[in-house]
Amino acid sequence: MSDGVVSAGGASLPPCGGGLGEAAASLRRAAQLVRAVAEDDIQPGAEHALGEDLIGVLRALDEVKLACADVAALFQACGGLVGSGQSSLSHWLQHTADRSPSEAAQLASLAHRPVHLEESERAYASGEIPLARFERICHWVNEGLACRSQAEWPDTQAFALKAQESLLELAVDPSATVAAVNRTGRRLRYMSNPALHEKEYQDRYAGRGAVLSRGVNGSFHLEAWGDEASGDALRGALDAFLAPPGEREERTAAQRMHDALVDVCSTVVALPAEAAPLRRAGAAPVSVVVGLDTLQGKEGAAPAVSEYGTLWPASAARAHTNDCQLTRVVSDPLDGRPLDVGRSRRLFSPEVRTALMAQRQTCAWEGGCDRPIAWCQVDHRLAWWDGGASDLDNAQPLCRYHNLEKEHRRARERGWEQRPRPRRGGKRPDPFPNPKSRPLSGSAPPGIPRHQRPEHGQQLTAEDTGTDGDPLSP
C-alpha cells in the first residue's frame, strides 16, 4: 500500500473501489445482451454454436469471479470485516453479500490462495484448467499447509510447490473431474500429517452417536453421526438394498434410502437362529485396499482406501479387517500396476468358533464386558499381519466396541496421537450451523410434524425405542 493505491491480483485500485460501480454497470448491460439471446428465436442447426458461445460467456464470468476474489482479499486486508459482525471472509460473503455457502467458500478460497502457485495460475490463464479445478488446488494446498508436520516440512514454499505438483498433474487431464481433484487433495492432507488424521478420526469416533425418537402416534425420527469407517460400513449395507430407480419410480431419494434401511433391518431379523450370530459377528460389508506396512503400523505408510474412496486411518483398517476375506495383491512400486493377485483366507474356522463359544459366553475384554459372544467378533490376540495364527490359542471374542478400542489403544501406544477427550453421551453436531436457518424453540425436526413429536422432557422407554435400552442390542 502506498500513496493511497492498493494492489490486488496485479491490478491497482483506489482504496474506495470506485471502479467497481462501472464494472457492475457493464455486467448489467452484458446481462441484457444475454437475456436478449435467450428470448430470441434460434435458427435450426445453430444450437451447437449457441452452446459454444454460452461456454465463452461462462468462462468470462469465471474471470470476473476471480477478480472479485482479489477484491474480497483487498476488502479483508483493509479491515472491512471489522464491525461487520462476521468472523471470516466466507461468513461475510455468505451472510452480508448473500452468496450461497458453496459460492462463498469458493470465493474465500480464491481470495486466500497461496502465493507460490504461479504454475497453476498460468495453467488457468492459458485455459488448461477451469476455475473450479484451480480453486480446488488452492483449497487443498492451503489445507496441507495448515495441518502439515512442520518437523518434516519446515519450508512453506517447498511444501506448497510439492503439493501443487501432484494436484496440477491431475487437474490438467481433460478427463479429470473436480471430485478426482478432491480425492487427491484429501490424500495429500492425510500424507502431510498422518498422526493428525488419526486423532481427528478418533475424535469423530469418540463423538459418535445415534438417536431414535418416537412420536405419540408411533412415527419415528432417526439421526446418526460418526466416523468415516462406520459411515462406509453403513453405506455398504444400504447399497446392497438400493437399486437404480426404474422408469416408473415414484419414490424420492430420501424415501428409497429409508426403505433400504428398513430392508437391511428386516433381513437381519429374518435370519434363522443358527445364522443370526454369524451375521452379527460377520465381516464388514466394505472392500478396503490397505498396504501391509499400514497394517503393521509402520511410519509413513499410506492410508487405507475403501471402495467408496474414503481414507481410513490405520487403526480403523485393522479393526474392520478382523473378520474378513483377505486378498493379497502384489503391485509395481513405481506405477502401482498389479503384478500378482493371490487369495489367502484368514477367517477362523468354524471349529475354532465353536470351541471358543464353549470356553466363554461373553466378550473377553480385559477390563470386563458382558456382551454375549453371539455379538462378538473372533479376534486375533496377536494380529494376523504381525504373524499371529488363526488358531484357538490366538483367538478371543471381542465385541465391536472393544475390538475398535484395542486398535485405537494400539495406535496411541505407538505414539501416533494423544487419547481423545471422551465425550460422554456423544456430543451431537449442530444440524443448524447457520443461525438464520435454526428453527424456533420447540419446533420439530425435518420430516416430523409437531403433533407427532414427543412432549418436551418426555423420556423414551424401551417399548418406545424397540430395544432393551442397550445401544448395542441387535
The boundaries of the domain holding residue 235 are 209-243+251-281+446-464
- Residue 208 φ/ψ region, left for φ over 0, alpha for ψ in the -120 to 50 degree band, beta for the rest: beta
Q: State residue 406's pLDDT score.
A: 87
Q: State residue 465's pLDDT score.
A: 37
Dig out the grid coordinates for 6 from the structure: 492498493
Q: Is the pTM of this model over 0.95?
A: no
Asked if residue 71 and residue 177 are part of one domain, the reply reads yes
Per the structure, the count of domains in the chain is: 2
Q: State residue 3's pLDDT score.
A: 38
Asked if residue 114 and residue 75 are part of one domain, the reply reads yes
Ranges of the chain with pLDDT below 70: 1-18, 269-286, 307-308, 321-347, 354, 357-358, 415-474
Q: Please choose, from the candidates 328, 225, 242, 235, the residue with its C-alpha nearest in 3D space to the C-alpha of residue 284.
A: 235
Out of 168, 198, 228, pick the residue that ends a domain. 198
Q: State residue 285's pLDDT score.
A: 57
In this structure, are residues 372 and 470 in contact, taking their beta carbons and an 8 Å threshold?
A: no
Q: Is residue 401 part of a domain?
A: no
Q: Please, is 105 exposed, middle or buried when counting C-beta atoms within 10 Å of its C-beta (0-12, 13-18, 19+)?
A: middle
Asked if residue 166 and residue 88 are part of one domain, the reply reads yes
Whole-angstrom distance, CA of residue 399 vs CA of residue 402: 6
Asked if residue 258 and residue 131 are part of one domain, the reply reads no
Count the neighbouring beta carbons within 10 Å of the beta carbon of residue 352: 17
Asked if residue 192 and residue 78 are part of one domain, the reply reads yes
Asked if residue 228 and residue 186 are part of one domain, the reply reads no
* Helix (H) / strand (E) containing 73: helix 47-77
Asked if residue 56 and residue 126 are part of one domain, the reply reads yes
User: Phi then psi for 198, rounded to 5 degrees?
Assistant: -60, -45
Total length of the chain: 474
Q: Is residue 60 part of a domain?
A: yes
Whole-angstrom distance, CA of residue 149 vs CA of residue 60: 39
Asked if residue 131 and residue 164 are part of one domain, the reply reads yes
Asked if residue 238 and residue 188 are part of one domain, the reply reads no
Q: Is residue 154 part of a domain?
A: yes
Asked if residue 231 and residue 152 are part of one domain, the reply reads no
Q: Is residue 454 part of a domain?
A: yes
Q: Is residue 310 part of a domain?
A: no
Dig out the grid coordinates for 129 from the structure: 484448467
Q: CB under 8 Å to 218, separation ≥6 — which residues? A: none
- Residue 98 φ/ψ region, left for φ over 0, alpha for ψ in the -120 to 50 degree band, beta for the rest: left
Residue type, 55: I
Asked if residue 188 and residue 213 are part of one domain, the reply reads no
**Cα 434 to Cα 100, 101, 437, 438, distances in angstroms:** 12, 10, 5, 7
Q: Is residue 230 part of a domain?
A: yes
Q: Is residue 301 part of a domain?
A: no
**pLDDT (tens digit per residue) in 246-268:** 777 788 989 889 988 988 887 77
Q: State residue 416's pLDDT score.
A: 57
Q: State residue 431's pLDDT score.
A: 46
In this structure, are residues 340 and 330 in contact, taking their beta carbons and an 8 Å threshold?
A: yes
Q: Is residue 396 part of a domain?
A: no
Dig out the grid coordinates for 437 from the structure: 436457518
Asked if residue 74 and residue 170 are part of one domain, the reply reads yes
Q: State residue 376's pLDDT score.
A: 81
